[in-house]
Amino acid sequence: MKILIKNVRIFDPASGIDEEGDVFIKNGIVSKKKEETRNIIEGKGLYLFPAFIDIHTHIREPGGEDIENFESASKAAVAGGYSTIFMMPNTEPPIDNDGMVRFVVKRARDVGLVKIYPVGAATIGRRGERLTDMRAMIECGCIGFSDDGSPVKNPRILRRILEYLKGTGIKFIEHPEDTELSSDGSMNEGSLSNKLGVPGIPWVSEASVVIRDILIAEYLSSPIHFAHISTEASLDLIQFGRKRGVKITFEVTPHHLLLDEDNVKITDSNFKMNPPLRSKRDRKALIKALKKGFVNAIATDHAPHPLYKKELEFSLAPFGVIGLETAFSTLYTEFVRKGVIGLNELIEYMSVKPAGIFDLKTGMVRDGAPADFVLIDLKKKWKITEDKFHSLSRNSPFLGWDVYGRVVYTIVDGKVVYKEGD
Partner 1 sequence: MERFKQKHLLGIEELSRDEIDSILDTAIIMKSVLERRIKKVPTLRGITVANLFFEPSTRTLNSFLIAERRLSADTINVSKSFSSVLKGETLLDTARNLEAMRVDMVVIRHSVPCSPHYLAERISASVINAGDGAHEHPTQALLDMLTLRERFGNIEGLKVSIIGDILHSRVARSLTIGLLKKGADVILCGPPTFLPEWFEDYGVKITYNLKDAIVDRDVIYVLRIQRERQDAAFLPSLREYIRYYSVNRDVLNRYARKDVIIMHPGPVNRGVELAPDVADGPWSLILHQVTNGIAVRMAILYLLSGIGSSGGVE
CA distances from 368 to 25, 26, 88 (A): 9, 9, 31
Q: Does 386 bind partner 1 (CB under 8 A)?
A: no
Nearer Cβ to partner 1 (309/390):
309
Q: Does 313 bind partner 1 (CB under 8 A)?
A: yes
CA distance 210 to 195: 28
Q: Does 35 bind partner 1 (CB under 8 A)?
A: no
In angstroms, what is the minimal distance from the CB of 265 to partner 1? 9
Q: Which residues face 407 on adjacent strands?
A: 376
CB atoms within 10 A of CB 20: 12
CA within 13 Å, CB half, 36 = 0
In angstroms, what is the minimal distance from the CB of 283 to partner 1? 19
Q: Does 139 bind partner 1 (CB under 8 A)?
A: no
Which among 33-41, 61-69, 100-108, 307-315 is the span making contact with partner 1, rule CB under 8 A?
Answer: 307-315
The interface with partner 1 within residues 225-284 (CB under 8 A) comprises 266-267
Q: Does 17 bind partner 1 (CB under 8 A)?
A: no
CA-angle at 105, arms to 112 and 96, nearest 5°: 150
Which among 45-53, 312-320, 332-340, 365-373 is the span making contact with partner 1, rule CB under 8 A?
Answer: 312-320
CA within 13 Å, CB half, 118 = 33
Which among 102-110, 191-199, 287-295, 385-393 is the span making contact with partner 1, rule CB under 8 A?
Answer: 191-199
Nearest to 114 by CA among 148, 143, 81: 81
CA distances from 396 to 270, 306, 319 (A): 6, 11, 12
Q: Out of 95, 198, 229, 322, name the contact with partner 1 by CB under 8 A.
A: 198
Nearer Cβ to partner 1 (182/300):
182
Q: Of the residues 282, 301, 372, 413, which is catalytic? A: 301
Nearer Cβ to partner 1 (72/188):
188
CA distance 72 to 189: 34
Q: Out of 168, 191, 239, 385, name the contact with partner 1 by CB under 8 A.
A: 191
Q: Does 163 bind partner 1 (CB under 8 A)?
A: no
Which among 53-61, 132-140, 242-250, 313-321 is the span making contact with partner 1, rule CB under 8 A?
Answer: 313-321
Nearer Cβ to partner 1 (44/195):
195
Q: Out of 66, 129, 311, 367, name the contact with partner 1 by CB under 8 A.
A: 311
Q: Out of 314, 319, 382, 401, name the contact with partner 1 by CB under 8 A.
A: 314
Q: Which residues face 373 on adjacent strands?
A: 50, 411
CA distances from 397 to 22, 229, 230, 400, 401 (A): 37, 18, 16, 9, 9
Amino acid sitting at position 163:
E
Q: Does 195 bind partner 1 (CB under 8 A)?
A: yes
In angstroms, what is the minimal distance from the CB of 183 to partner 1? 9
Q: How far apart are the first and last CA of the chain?
A: 20
CB atoms within 10 A of CB 293: 12
Determine whether 301 is an active site residue: yes
- Dihedral angle computed from the Cα positions of residues 346, 350, 353 and 355, in that order, rounded to the nearest 10 degrees: -160
CA distance 413 to 323: 23
Which among 82-90, 123-131, 194-202, 218-226 is the span making contact with partner 1, rule CB under 8 A?
Answer: 194-202
Element (H, E) at 54: strand 52-57
Catalytic site positions: 301
Judged by the rule CB under 8 A, the positions of this chain that interact with partner 1 are 190-191, 194-198, 266-267, 311-316
